[in-house]
Amino acid sequence: MKRLLLLDNHDSYTFILRESLIKAGADQVDVVCVEDFHQDLIKDFDALVISPGPGIPEQNNLPEIIRNLAGMIPLLGICLGMQAIAEAFGGKIINMKQVYHGSEAIVNHSGTELFTDIPDQFSAGLYHSWAVVQESLPDDLKITSVSQNNVPMSLEHLKFPVCGFQFHPESHITKVGIQLLSNFLKFYV
């Protein structure tokens, strides 16, 4: 049985993401608001998913949450969640000149297990105004996909079961989103 805790950062897509995780094979997905989260909650779950949301990671103390949990439980960050993963391990994010909301990007990936059965190039839905600065990442965080504009679209930690997507796998634009979430469940949880 795969039980996930979904950390809600007050995003309108949180419950769509919850349904997508269930379609991908999660048996149970409980949602907790970020203000109500405490580390003891994870003992009843097999993985923590950090939802998208407005603002920047520090506003909700996400980098500290990730640092405290890395290595204890598998973590998946979506959009803001991926940015928080980068910051948790010393990376930086940048406010982009262009805001992406409901935009489509062509994503190319490097072929890690997370991308099993995913075409080398696929369309993904973007809803963000911040991005990870690839050059700022430590050696143990690997960018595993980029957009056609060379913006990091996913990352994976080399030592801990931690990964993230900048794009939204739950978006109708991301046709391979359920498969990507299924791969997270298969290879990380």
By C-alpha distance, which of 148, 87, 91, 146 is closest to 115?
A: 146
In 51-137 the beta strands, taken as DSSP E runs, fall at 75-78, 92-109, 121-133
Backbone φ, ψ for residue 188 (5° rounding) = -115, -30
Mean per-residue pLDDT over the chain, rounded: 97
Amino acid at site 55 = G
Condensed to tens digits (0 to 9), the pLDDT of residues 142-153 reads: 999 999 999 999
**CA 84 remoteness from chain centre:** 9
For residue 11, give every residue at least 6 positions away whose Cβ sits within 8 Å of its Cβ, in sequence order, or none.
Answer: 51, 52, 53, 54, 79, 80
Q: Which residues are part of the catalytic machinery?
A: 79, 168, 170
The reported pLDDT for the residue numbered 175 is 97
Give the chain's domains with CATH numbers: 3-188 (3.40.50.880)
The reported pLDDT for the residue numbered 111 is 95
**3-state secondary structure labels for all residues of 32-76:** EEHHHCCHHHHHHCCEEEECCCCCCHHHHCHHHHHHHHCCCCCEE
Residue 125 has pLDDT above 90, yes or no: yes
pLDDT band at 10; cut points 50, 70, 90: very high
Condensed to tens digits (0 to 9), the pLDDT of residues 170-186 reads: 999 999 999 999 999 99
Condensed to tens digits (0 to 9), the pLDDT of residues 101-122 reads: 888 999 999 999 999 999 999 9
The reported pLDDT for the residue numbered 68 is 97
Mean pLDDT of the 69-73 span: 97
Query: Do residues 135 and 48 lie in contact, with contact meaning Cβ atoms separated by under 8 Å?
Result: no
pLDDT band at 97; cut points 50, 70, 90: confident
pLDDT band at 128; cut points 50, 70, 90: confident
Q: Are strands 121-133 and 92-109 parallel, antiparallel or unpaired?
A: antiparallel
Residue 99 has pLDDT above 90, yes or no: no
Residue 54 has pLDDT above 90, yes or no: yes
For residue 113, give every residue at least 6 positions away whose Cβ sits within 8 Å of its Cβ, in sequence order, or none.
Answer: 183, 187
By C-alpha distance, which of 181, 22, 9 is closest to 79?
A: 9
The reported pLDDT for the residue numbered 101 is 81
pLDDT band at 168; cut points 50, 70, 90: very high
Residue 100 has pLDDT above 90, yes or no: no
